[in-house]
Structure 1
């Protein structure tokens, strides 16, 4: 354990050799060398400033779209919670903290009679991650609704980045290296609350009908290659139901990996790489991971 990490004195919670597997949707993975839950943005900035240069910093959100490797994560792992999940409703949108869950944002805007953010009900994650990966589903994405995002820069200053500055592309936003999303403003429009809730219910039903939402999974595994659907390429390559140790390609939706109960992160990653190999061999198309793989191999 780094002496520098042991000497940190934040106002938030700091723990060492902290298990991360229970936090991940896959329920796999090793420990964090140090896990930090900051009290507020100032606490986060001051603690990061106290780190020696070169200390690895990893930010975790809802852990819905990550594989945390079995060797754990070195350095400081930051998990935003508490006030970072605040949501402030405005007449034509809202400001949501990075830790606010996408589903909660969708439901609160529905309650306020604001339309345009229903798609968030189909994304398992939090607003910070949604900004970073330009999350999208059911006909919309963050690039279509984001006004601005506030980020903490490596020099501990806070910058407000416009939609244009983030230069959104498919499943990607351009952020300064080392920047941490703190909150974002999303645009919405007045609408009928009952109709908005009905739309959200339709999205939830469609997601449950087509995806293994009640399983230990991590969301969409691979990005859709241009002009193709990842699940279809995986199916056509004969990978539906394919297994590796305790991991399996979902038979319900081929672009989802499952932990059947005893899988390790290594099982999941090896299965994903085998799927990529078979798809490349069958179709000549390269699949690229959408799930983030973090940490050390065992």
Structure 2
């Protein structure tokens, strides 16, 4: 099983890539991505509802792979109405090129795609590349109660737009010496903008840990586990990560058989353990994590045989 925080491709693509890279057969159902929990029910509820997808990569194909038949991207909305993002020069240039080619997307086409209904939800699948356009379009959808281009009054009876952030990472480790802002930072920006523009906080409950890790036990439940060559249940599943606020928090929230393993290779670099989200095991790198997991498993087996 492989867990990915910020994927921008459907699980079958990721499985095929891992199969080619490592020379072992990896099935799509063995891939748990930060948006995999959508498969557990929410995607089915939104299958026929207009949904705005936020993120980089082919998020449209990701949404459609979950059965979302009326999903649209930030880019599609921006290209249909370039005036909605006046500072996005690349959007204006692409819209102008499309008009010259006679293939410009317009509001009428989007109206057909949504069947004239308001957006029911915004799904932030991963970190968008163009934060300005993503924040502006998302805020438009929220403030318009699903209809960008209008501002719904406070007493509007229309249902609010649900916003789902699939990845809570505030920071992540990259090639730069210090961590970079992640999807959690985008969420904080959108929430702050809504509070400032609307004059009231957004409604909803705070996220609890990482979305992918608590969903993984459900993803790997009968009949999924029945297809694996296992003679008994997992004694432990070691979740190795470098981010205490995401990787460790998610594994700790999931509980047994998940065991959190914190490595000092990315976001976390300090001595000792994380004071905010202490891990069950803290080591320097992934190799040490594997050795520690094997040692712990052998010790558990030895004690069970005594």
The TM tier, using the shorter chain, reads under 0.3
- More helix by proportion, 1 or 2? 2
- More strand by proportion, 1 or 2? 1
How does the TM-score come out when normalised to structure 2?
A: 0.25
How does the TM-score come out when normalised to structure 1?
A: 0.25
